[in-house]
Amino acid sequence: MSLSKPVSIMSLSNEIIIEIIIEIIARAKFSPEGLQNLRDVHKRFDAIITEYEKSIAKDILNQRQFQDAKNDFPGLQTDRSMNYRMLSEFTRRYDTIYTITHELLKECDYGSTLMLHNISLVEVGLMLLYRMHDLDTYLPRVHLLTALPLQPLVAIRLVLYHCTYAARRVGESLISRNYYHHDAATRSDIELCFAELILTKGPEFILNILRYNLSTGERPLISYLNASLAEKMLCEQRYALMEILHMVKEPKHRLADLEFGDRAKLVRGHSLD
């Protein structure tokens, strides 16, 4: 009577091995560094990760880590180009949003009006900036700013306000506290350009700030934002921001503590009412 040998992984069929590895990769928390570490485990892992990239990437996208990514960043064409680079882009954007909101919250100690109940609204504003950035060209961005209803515009404008305030307090370059008290005209011009750069370049605009060219002759996007806000708020442009700041001070205002479903609506450009 012969004894049966224990089953080793080498005796499993190739299809089963592939399925096991794909399942392991899909269920692990994704990061570019983690994916590279898996590639380095064994050349078989590396081959499978490369050969089944689209399938693995789609499986990862359906996991909890990225379950809201399509709604948070609708400008990314996930259906046509889902791959590891796209997952890395999602990761980078979420990390950027987290870092920005963390820095803005730190400014609360110095008198910023950013309050905890508005964090989700600021996150929506940053996601909308990514949506604008994904449009890539000027005219589609103008169309978006003029077509968005009031509430998504409020999210964008609030981000511009808080980012400008934070940069003014802690910045060490052109936008900083150095010009804040003694040169109101310069401050106004610089902060207008700063807001325009945010709208044009997205949350990572500061990487390119020294190379940005304002000599195109195009009307600044901030002017479209302000005009669209004023039109929808039924007030003069100069009063729009004051109205927004007055509204968001209330912990129970309509856009406070947003649920994921409401976040998705705003990022898609819809009102909640």
Q: How many CB atoms lie within 10 A of CB 16?
A: 11
In terms of Cα–Cα distance, which of 247, 227, 223, 224 is closest to 236? 227
Q: Does residue 216 fall inside a structural domain?
A: yes
102 in Cβ contact with 122 (< 8 Å) = no
Q: Does residue 273 fall inside a structural domain?
A: no
Distance CA 191, CA 211 (A): 17
The CA–CA distances, whole Å, from 271 to 46, 195, 204 equal 46, 24, 27
Q: Does residue 223 fall inside a structural domain?
A: yes
Q: Does residue 249 fall inside a structural domain?
A: yes
Report the percent of the chain where pLDDT is more than 70. Answer: 79
pLDDT band at 126 (very low <50, low <70, confident <90, very high): very high
Spatial CB neighbours of 209, under 8 Å, sequence gap ≥ 6 = 173, 197, 201
User: How many domains, the chain?
Assistant: 1
User: What sign has the CA pseudo-torsion 210, 211, 212, 216?
Assistant: positive
Q: Does residue 186 fall inside a structural domain?
A: yes
255 in Cβ contact with 158 (< 8 Å) = no
At residue 40, the pLDDT reads 79
- Which of 207 and 87 is assigned the larger pLDDT? 87
The CA–CA distances, whole Å, from 150 to 30, 144, 156, 226, 227 equal 36, 12, 10, 11, 11
pLDDT band at 165 (very low <50, low <70, confident <90, very high): confident
- Which of 22 and 256 is assigned the larger pLDDT? 256
The domain in which residue 128 lies consists of 94-267
At residue 122, the pLDDT reads 92
Q: Does residue 161 fall inside a structural domain?
A: yes
Q: How many CB atoms lie within 10 A of CB 220?
A: 17
74 in Cβ contact with 60 (< 8 Å) = no
At residue 19, the pLDDT reads 80
DSSP letters along the chain, please? -PPPPPP-GGGS-HHHHHHHHHHHHHHSPP-HHHHHHHHHH-HHHHHHHHHTHHHHHHHHHTSGGGTTHHHH-TTS-HHHH-SHHHHHHHHHHHHHHHHHHHHHHHGGGGT----GGGHHHHHHHHHHHHHHHHH-SHHHHHHHHHHS-HHHHHHHHHHHHHHHHHHHHH--SSSSGGGTTT-HHHHHHHHHHHHHHHHHH-TTGGGGGGG---TT-PPPHHHHHHHHHHHHHTS-HHHHHHHHHHHHTSTTSTTSS--HHHHHHHHTT----
Q: Does residue 70 fall inside a structural domain?
A: no
- Which of 253 and 211 is assigned the larger pLDDT? 253
Is the pLDDT at 81 greater than 80? The verdict is no
At residue 110, the pLDDT reads 53
**pTM score above 0.85:** no
* Mean pLDDT estimate for the chain: 80
Q: Does residue 168 fall inside a structural domain?
A: yes
